[in-house]
Amino acid sequence: PSVLERVGLTPEGPDTVVTVLEVWPDCSMNTDITIQVMDDAGDPIQEGSTYASTENDLRVALITRPHGGETVSGVNASGTTVSSSASDNFIYVRTTNGSVTLNLKSGRYPGVVELKVQALKAGAEAATQGKTESEIEAAGLTLASATSSQITISSGPPQSIIVSEPRDSALVNMSQYGLSGAYCLIGTALVTDQHGNAVPDGTVLSLGLMDQVIAQGTNGSVTAGSKVLGADGAAFDTGGVDPDGDGISRKLKEGDRLVIYSGVGAGDKNRFLASSPAATSATVNASFSTTAASLPYYMGSALVGGAIHGYKSSSGCDPTSLVSGTTTTTGGLAPFRVTYPANRETIRLGCFGYSAATGAYSTLDSRYPNSSGQVLLVVAANDSSATAVTRGKFCFNGLSPLSLTPTTKTLSKTGTYTVEVEVMDAGKIPLPFQEVSCEFSIGTKSSATFDVAVAYPAGYDHPDSTNGITDLDGIVKVSLTVTGGGGAEADTGTVTCTSGGYSGAIAINVP
């Protein structure tokens, strides 16, 4: 018979794309590897001409591994499936028509696996017992051998989800797609496993958004095995909200979302109400796995037009690329978009911040009583192994650049004036509750008494702010007192009003 010459593995060669396994905590993932044994003519060997029918012709060993419980398995000469173990990193198998398929199973850890396959001489199996791969070859017990290319055991299930948005060009006016009156905010979820590896491509994340908080507090409590959120002795605020301003109160009901912001694990952060809550308890759709108290919670729904979408394209906010409800990862990154109405009633909703001391939302936004106008996002792995909850990060902001336009652009006489300054975003939407500060700078001072006194801008004053705040129409009123004049030349200067890094000017020119 022809002499056995080589062992071939598929995939083989350094340029072969490595096989990717996925590491999961409670189940391993598999990949198949085919071994082909050839004779000196390049044909598959015929086992019967060299080996007895009860004889194994290959020894396969895991020579490189991350020691997370990886195994290799195959079928031996008696037709039994055999597997390697932590103590025995090798198996003996038999080919059929020169070929055998092995199954490589991942363990708990990521890393690299390499297989050493040795074609044994007839009758040599017993002599290889207790020997290493190199000792077997040194003893002349093999006819041929091969080492696989590196096989990567890649990432496991989501352990961490971080939600981020670009610093520049994050907000898109949907009018460029023929959809006026709406803005789109670009976001990305960065998803990694326990070891900091990007999760496998195609990992599905579910998306949710709340833009009206109907009940909230810091006194929530849960018990492992129970489907009830308790209020720790204080009643839920279930008075409802009136997002439409029509005088009809919208109360909590079945299907509304419960978000527990902190104090519980990822699998307990996101729930749905199974029914309208009672005074001090709310029943949800799934049991909790944690027992905890003094939990910050939010209950509410999407009621004023906000929506979160997956996105199928690489850039922009093309409505044909929006996907409802889910997004999927590529390289551990999952794109999403938040769309919302750009109008006087909703602009800047959720943008006013939370107290560092208490976590309470600002009371600045008078459009939504009881601080109901907040924006919370939920991005969760479908198996709840990781959940991200953000509040305020994806608020309904205005589009840059802002414009500050005074109703009077030039003052040429002494006296006291009230000048309105309107603050608008790039989409010409008036920005309510926007901080504005104004100051005077002298250009030419001909008269010794020339000065301009700038009073605190009046609009919607609020104790949370040190500057004037625009009203619902995006306007502040600036009081200016101009003195001087009558010098040899004109007295000149500029009153500059600034908001969000943008400014508008009122020229002063007194003969």
pLDDT digits (tens, 9 = 90+) for 273-322: 999 999 899 999 999 999 999 999 999 999 999 999 999 987 899 999 99
Domain boundary assignment for the chain: 4-153, 160-391, 403-510
Q: How far, in Å, CA of 96 to CA of 48, rounded?
A: 10
CATH superfamily name and code, 4-153 = Immunoglobulins (2.60.40.10)
Q: Is 379:388 a contact under the CB 8 Å cutoff? A: yes
The letter for the amino acid at 231 is A
Q: What is the pLDDT of residue 358?
A: 87
3-state class of 267 per DSSP?
Answer: helix
Q: Is 283:277 a contact under the CB 8 Å cutoff? A: yes
For the stretch 356-381, pLDDT in tens is: 888 899 988 888 888 899 999 999 99
- Dihedral sign from CA coordinates of 193, 196, 200, 202: positive
3-state class of 342 per DSSP?
Answer: coil
The residue among 265, 320, 312 whose CA lies nearest residue 289 is 265
pLDDT at 484 over 80: yes
Q: Is 169 left (phi over 0), alpha (psi -120 to 50) or beta?
A: left
194, β-bridge pairs: none
For the stretch 378-408, pLDDT in tens is: 999 987 789 999 999 999 999 999 999 999 9
Q: Is 126:42 a contact under the CB 8 Å cutoff? A: no
3-state class of 15 per DSSP?
Answer: coil
Q: Which long-range contacts (CB under 8 A, 24 or more apart) does 273-277 make?
A: 273/299, 274/227, 276/238, 276/251, 276/252, 277/215, 277/229, 277/236, 277/238, 277/252
Average pLDDT over residues 179-206: 92
DSSP 392: S
Q: What is the CATH number of domain 403-510?
A: 2.60.40.10
Q: How far, in Å, CA of 322 to CA of 147, rounded?
A: 46
Q: What is the pLDDT of residue 148?
A: 85
337, β-bridge pairs: 186, 309
Q: Is 381:205 a contact under the CB 8 Å cutoff? A: yes
For the stretch 227-254, pLDDT in tens is: 999 987 677 766 788 887 777 889 999 9
Q: Is 348 left (phi over 0), alpha (psi -120 to 50) or beta?
A: left
For the stretch 163-184, pLDDT in tens is: 998 776 799 999 999 999 999 9
Domains 4-153 and 403-510 share a fold: yes
